[in-house]
Amino acid sequence: MIVQALKTQLDAAKSKWADELPSVLWSYQTTTRSGTGETPFSMVYGTEAVLPTEIGQESARIMAYGGNNQELRAMDLDLLEENRSRAAIRLAAYRKRMTQAYNKSVYPKVFHEEDLVMRKIQHPGERGKLEAKYEGPFKVIEKAGIAAYYLEDAQGRKGKRSWNAQHLKKYYS
């Protein structure tokens, strides 16, 4: 993310990346993350960063911090673990939503024993773009794991290794 932000800041002047790095890092550290609902700065220090523009304009937050800075800072540090725990819960919920959204569009390939399948050619070598991408048919003889299968060729020879289902497709004769 930092490299991408640097690229957008620099456009043609790529040699000036060192001059732009502090501002890019500042923006990264003070931007709220969608997964946690917090900024990286607040996750480390327990409070939001004071923006340079707030210092010059005497914002409401700066005025409220006033003279009892030590007491307010101690309270922020006391609440730091609680804030981190809440952020971890929000992050877990965010990851669960992302997983559910991804799994809606993914359909697992399931094969049964005796099914005929084609397997992807792993090392095509000097293969042209119009040549076959799969070879076979092979017969599924055993399930090796959640989505892995042992195959047997037409002569009845068992393969030396298992094949992941993503490299197989059903053979229709």
Summarize pLDDT for 84-130 with one digit per residue, the tens: 999 999 999 999 999 999 989 888 889 999 999 999 988 767 777 78
Please give the pLDDT value at position 124.
Answer: 66
| Nearest partner of 47 among 11, 14, 79, 85, judged by Cα | 79
Beta bridge partners of 134: 120
* Domains and their CATH numbers in the chain: 32-104 (no CATH), 116-170 (2.30.30.140)
Say what the pLDDT of residue 88 is. 94
| pLDDT bracket for residue 67 (50, 70, 90) | low
Q: How does pLDDT run across 23-66, given as a tens digit for each residue?
A: 888 888 888 898 888 999 888 888 888 777 777 777 776 676 66
Question: Residue 173's pLDDT band (boundaries 50, 70, 90)?
Answer: confident
